[in-house]
Amino acid sequence: MTNDYDAIIIGAGVIGTCTAFELSKKGYKVLSIDKMPEAGYGSTSASSAIIRTYYSAYETCAIAFEGWHHWRDWQNYVGKHDGLQPIKYRETGCLVIKTDHNHNLAKICEMMTRIGCPYSDVTSDQITDYLPIADTQKFYPAKAMDDDGFGEPTGGIVNGAVFFPAGGYVNDPKLAADNARRAAETHGATFLFNSEVTQILTFDGRASGVKLSNGQKYHAPIVINVAGPYSSKINSMAGVDKTMKMTTRALRQEVAYVPSPSGFDFEKDGLVLSDSDIQTYCRPELGNTVSIGSEDPPCDDKEWVDDPDNYNQEFTDQWTVQVMRMAQRLTGLPIPNTASGIVALYDVTEDWMPIYDKSDLPGFYMGIGTSGNQFKNAPVAGKILTALVEKCEAGHDHDKDPITFHLDQINKDISLATFSRNREINQNSSFSVIG
C-alpha cells in the first residue's frame, strides 16, 4: 500500500465517511484514518440519529431538508453493493412544541416556507391527536431537581405545536457510517482503523500529510479534520486554532432509554418530540422504548471535557432529571431505578452550529463542531466539504468571496459563509442540541 494520497480524512464517523464517499466519487485517492476499530464507532454511534428539518438558521434548515431526501432514499444514495446491509429510516414526523421562548416557531415556519418544506400548525387541543399520552400543561422553565417547584406545572397549557412530516429517525447510526464507508470503498477509498494521528505534516507552508502514533507517515496535499470530539486537538496539531473566531469543545452528554408508558406502544405509535417547554426531546427506540435527550437548559451544568479519552462514562443525576422532565409530558412514563442509555461526547462550537471550512493552513480543511445536530446532514456535509476542497484548491479565495453551494434536491443556493470558522456567533441559535 502506497503512502501517497490525494486527500487524508481524519475521522470515520458518519460525516467523515460521507466525505470520503463524495471525494472518492470525484476521483480523489482518499485515505480515511480513525483511532477507533470501525467506522462510526465514536460519537456517531451515540447519536440519537434523528432526521429533522428545523434549525435556527436558514442555511441549516436548507441542508437538513436536502439531507432528508437522501435518508428517505438511502440505498439510492450509497448504492447497492454485495453484502451491504442498509440502515432503515423510519418516518414518524416531528412534533415541536411552541413556547414564548422559541417565539412560537414563527421564524422556523417562515424558513420552512422558503425552502418548500411541509409543516402543519397544531393547536393545543390537537396535540393529543398526534401524541395521545401528552400532558399539555406548561412546565417552563426547566428546573434542577433541588429547585422549588421542580416538576410542577407553571400555569396554563402549552401554546400549541408544529408538525413536520418530513422527519423521523435512523435505526442504527453506526451502520449508517459503515454504509457510507463501504460506498466510499467501491470508489477506491482506503480506511485505516486503530490508528491515532499525532502530527499534521507540513511542507512549503501547506498541509502535506499526517504522522501516526506508530511513527508511520502518510502524505497528501489535502488533510480534512472530521475528528468529532478530538477535532480541537487535531486543529492544535495543525496550528490553526489560534487564528479562528469559532472554536470547538467536547461536551459530555447523557441519553436515557426508558420503557414506554403502560398501554401505549411508543415504538409503533410515537414520534420525534422536540419540547422547549420541558427543554427535553425524545424519539421511539427499539423494544417499545423512549429515547430521551436534553435540550441543555441553563439550569443544567455543562461538563466540558479536555481529554476525550478520559471522562466519566457512568450515568449521573442528569439521566434522572431528563427522564423526570419527559415524564411531565408523557403521562405514565416510568422512571426506572436502573439507568440505561448512552453516555458520550458531543463536539460543539460556541453557537452549536458546525464549521465547514478551509483553514489558515493551505490544504487543511474542517468539518467540525457537528455533534448532536449534524448527523442528519452528513450526506450534504460530505458534498459541502468536497466543494470547498475542489474550489479552494483551484485557487478560489473562500474567505474573501464565500462559496455559494447549490442544493440539488430542493433547488436552493446557500452561502457557505454561514459555516465559517471566522463567523460571528449566531445570536438566533438555540445554543443547544437543536442548533
Instruction: Enumerate domains of the chain plus CATH numbers.
Output: 7-86+172-247+351-419 (3.50.50.60), 94-165+248-348 (3.30.9.10)
Alpha-carbon distances of 303 from 253, 255, 280, 308, 313, rounded to whole Å: 8, 14, 17, 12, 12
Query: 260: closest CA among 276, 283, 280, 278?
Result: 283
pLDDT at 379: 98
Query: 262: closest CA among 334, 320, 339, 337?
Result: 334
And the C-alpha cell for 191? 480506511
Amino acid in position 303? E
pLDDT at 2: 65
Residues of the chain with pLDDT under 70: 1-2
pLDDT at 1: 46
What is the full DSSP assignment across 155-197? SSB---EEEESS-EEES-HHHHHHHHHHHHHHTT-EEE-S--E
Pairing of strands 7-10, 30-33: parallel
And the C-alpha cell for 217? 507517515
pLDDT at 431: 77
Q: How many C-beta atoms lie closer than 10 Å to residue 119's C-beta? A: 21
pLDDT at 432: 78
The number of C-alpha atoms within 13 Å of 27 and in the hemisphere containing its C-beta is 1
Contact 353, 371 (CB under 8 A): no
pLDDT at 84: 84
pLDDT at 80: 87
Contact 95, 120 (CB under 8 A): no
Amino acid in position 3? N
Phi first, then psi, for residue 13 (nearest 5°) are -75, -170
Query: 83: closest CA among 19, 18, 179, 12?
Result: 179
